[in-house]
Amino acid sequence: MNKLKSLLVAAFVCVSMASFAQTGTVKIGYTNANYIISQLPESRQIESDLKAHSGQLEKELQNKVRDYQGKLEAYNKGAQTMTDVIRADREKELTSLRSSIEEFQRNADASLQKKEQTALEPVMNKIQKAIDDVAKENGYTHIFTAEALLYGPEDGNNFTDLVLKKLGVTPGAKPASPAASTAKPAATPAKPTTPVKKKN
């Protein structure tokens, strides 16, 4: 979720410069988009859904790895007594299972990323609209992300709480660092090893 948040947070770099063109003045503010996301009720539901989705994928992946490891162990124990035909068949099966695991991992990562993006898109659009509205209502010409701010006054021109109020959320305690998602992609297993051919 963090990678997607970082990409979407970049979209908040600034609002329209119309006010600057009309008044000739500049009013710069900054906001913490990650904090705003963490405060929205729907973000908790999104994280819960992503965690459940990730859990299903990880469970299936573990089953595949367990199946592969069991068959690899059986192959290693019996390879010396197998005929060439049986040994070749087992090695082909193990190679196929390993490829299946790697393909599943790639598809699982893509599936989780797509689900995350689909779930977050309406939330990010909602936040962007609130930022635009609050900026215009308060005469800001530029709004930057607090995550990218290298130096600035501790509380000056930070209108994050104003955005949260616009979204109907009562601001809570500010986190020391940007909020991180609890949802993680399915765990990557140790790469299965290719069986070594043995001769009778």
Give the pLDDT band of residue 82 (cuts 50, 70, 90).
very high
Q: What is the pLDDT of residue 179?
A: 34
In tens, the pLDDT along 116-154 reads: 999 999 999 999 999 999 999 988 888 888 777 767 666
In tens, the pLDDT along 87-98 reads: 999 999 999 999
Asked if residue 22 lies in contact with residue 30, where contact means CB atoms within 8 angstroms, the answer is no
Question: What residue type is assigned to position 76 of the chain?
Answer: N
- Report percent pLDDT > 90 for the chain: 50
Report DSSP letters for the chain, one per residue.
-HHHHHHHHGGGS---SHHHHHHS---EEEE-HHHHHHHSHHHHHHHHHHHHHHHHHHHHHHHHHHHHHHHHHHHHHHGGGS-HHHHHHHHHHHHHHHHHHHHHHHHHHHHHHHHHHHHHHHHHHHHHHHHHHHHHHTT-SEEEEGGG-SS--SSTTB-HHHHHHHTT----PPPSS----S--PPPPPPPPPPPPP---
* 81 vs 172, residue with greater confidence: 81
Q: What is the pLDDT of residue 121?
A: 93
